[in-house]
Chain A
Amino acid sequence: EAGVTQFPSHSVIEKGQTVTLRCDPISGHDNLYWYRRVMGKEIKFLLHFVKESKQDESGMPNNRFLAERTGGTYSTLKVQPAELEDSGVYFCASSLEVTGPSGANVLTFGAGSRLTVL
């Protein structure tokens, strides 16, 4: 089974430019998540899709960030315009629907897209 794939693995852009990160989840996984790790900090939740719908976007920093998942397959995360503080590693993860009160919603992560804003 192919894992979660993210592209690009590393992107270096200048402040004010636009970057689009892509995530291909595991086939059949309805749940797709974006997380971010800023240097020196913990990995933090950004948002959660169920199929093509945004279930929870409470972690999105501001309106410079736009996530989409048209068709409920792959997802993109666009940062426009990028700022210095957006630098970090952006992780995508996917999971199957959880059933049962003690079922574990196990997330499978991608290797991340490292964004450097200069």
Chain B
Amino acid sequence: GQNIDQPTEMTATEGAIVQINCTYQTSGFNGLFWYQQHAGEAPTFLSYNVLDGLEEKGRFSSFLSRSKGYSYLLLKELQMKDSASYLCAVTGSGAGSYQLTFGKGTKLSVIP
């Protein structure tokens, strides 16, 4: 099976940097996704990591260590609109490669 852990809530200041961690234990692993979800809206794709290392995309970066079962999402130059839930999700191998297994999400509040 799969188990995904991430902090429930975080608060950060506008303009600052915040790191949201995610750890996972899986019976099979293919890749790791980060999604952003504003309240009442659809989760939207942010990033995908399959190999170890850092993927940078504008203000957002995502890191993966397969050997440690660990990922983080880094948000720079925080803006008020970044207040949202951030969902870590993994895909398994083989027949499970089409299933996303989600963590409960981290609710980020950006304050002035």
Q: How many residues of A contact B (CB 8 A)?
A: 25
Q: Quick one: which of B38-86 are within 8 Å of A by CB?
A: 40-45, 48, 50-51
Please, what's the 1-or-0 string for B95-110, where 1 marks a CB less than 8 Å from any CB in chain A?
Answer: 1011111111100000
**Alpha-carbon separation in the docked complex, A48 to B91 (Å):** 14
Given A4-B42, A106-B48, A108-B45, A42–B100 Cβ distance below 8 Å? no
Size class of B's contact patch? Answer: 20 to 34
Do B91 and A105 have beta carbons less than 8 Å apart? yes
Q: Smallest CB-CB separation from B31: which chain A residue? A: A104
Q: Of A41, A48, A102, A104, which is within 8 A of B99 by CB?
A: A48
Do A111 and B40 have beta carbons less than 8 Å apart? yes
Do B103 and A42 have beta carbons less than 8 Å apart? yes
Q: Of A45, A56, A106, which is within 8 A of B101 by CB?
A: A45
Q: Smallest CB-CB separation from B35: which chain A residue? A: A109
Given A42-B105, A109-B43, A104–B100 Cβ distance below 8 Å? no
Q: Could you tell me the distance in whole angstroms from the C-beta of A22 to the nearest C-beta in chain B?
A: 15
Given A105-B91, A106-B48, A107-B45, A45–B100 Cβ distance below 8 Å? yes
Q: Smallest CB-CB separation from A111: which chain B residue? A: B42
Q: Of A3, A55, A106, which is within 8 A of B42 by CB?
A: A3
Do A43 and B45 have beta carbons less than 8 Å apart? no
Binding site for A on B (CB under 8 A): 4, 31, 33, 35, 40-45, 48, 50-51, 87, 89, 91, 95, 97-105
Going nearest first, the 5 A-B pairs with the smallest beta carbon separation are A104-B48, A109-B42, A43-B102, A111-B42, A42-B104
Binding site for B on A (CB under 8 A): 3-4, 31, 33, 35, 41-45, 48, 55-56, 59, 91, 102, 104-112
Known contacts A45-B100, A105-B97, A105-B98, then 20 further A-B pairs from the complex at CB < 8 Å, ordered by chain A residue: A41-B104, A42-B4, A42-B104, A43-B43, A43-B100, A45-B99, A45-B101, A48-B98, A56-B95, A91-B43, A102-B31, A102-B51, A104-B31, A104-B33, A104-B50, A105-B91, A107-B45, A107-B100, A109-B44, A110-B42
